[in-house]
């Protein structure tokens, strides 16, 4: 599954700190490649869920796919689908993945971190030392 967009929209009526919307392309499901996911409160098991749809199912889905894409921070997908109204599903998937890969290339940092810098940054984010000798 390829993550196209995602954003935490909290605070919402459902949860005050975690209400994340995701849109993904699932190439393993050729018939229903568009995956709409919502994570409320930290996971799918508690609240939220996922729904895989085909192109011809989008307008019939009561989840309002255009609004969902906006909440997932990828409204450009709806614009791309609307702009290519006569295109088939496989073509639209290819166009979405192409635009996503182009935007990912443009977002790469100019100076990538070395392996040691990346490990150091991870340690700094995830290891917290407290007490007398803590930082």
- 0.85 surpassed by pTM: no
CA distance 102 to 99: 5
What angle is formed at CA 29 by the lines to CA 67 and CA 99, rounded to 5 degrees?
A: 55
Over residues 127-132, the mean pLDDT reads 62
* Angle separating helix axes 89-106 and 75-83, nearest 10 degrees: 140
The percent of the chain in helix, strand and coil, each rounded to the nearest 5, is: 35, 20, 40
All structural domains of the chain with their residue ranges: 2-126
Over residues 81-89, the mean pLDDT reads 93
Task: State percent of the chain over pLDDT 90.
Answer: 52
Strands of the sheet with 2-8, listed across from one edge: 2-8, 19-25, 34-40, 47-53
Q: What is the reported pLDDT for 46?
A: 66
Average pLDDT over all residues of the chain: 86
pLDDT digits (tens, 9 = 90+) for 6-54: 999 888 888 888 889 999 999 999 999 999 999 888 765 567 889 999 9
């Amino acid at each position: 599954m390829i993550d196209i967009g995602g954003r935490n929209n909290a605070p919402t009526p459902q949860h005050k700190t975690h209400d994340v919307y995701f849109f993904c392309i699932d190439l393993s499901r050729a018939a229903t490649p568009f995956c709409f996911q919502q994570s409320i409160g930290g996971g799918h098991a508690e609240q939220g869920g996922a729904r895989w749809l085909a192109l011809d199912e989008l307008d019939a889905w009561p989840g309002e796919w255009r609004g969902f894409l906006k909440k997932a921070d990828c409204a450009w997908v709806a614009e791309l689908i609307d702009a290519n109204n006569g295109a088939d599903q496989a073509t639209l998937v290819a166009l979405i993945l192409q635009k996503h890969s182009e935007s990912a290339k443009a977002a790469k940092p100019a100076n990538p971190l070395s392996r040691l810098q990346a490990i150091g940054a991870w340690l700094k984010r995830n290891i917290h030392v407290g007490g007398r000798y803590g930082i």
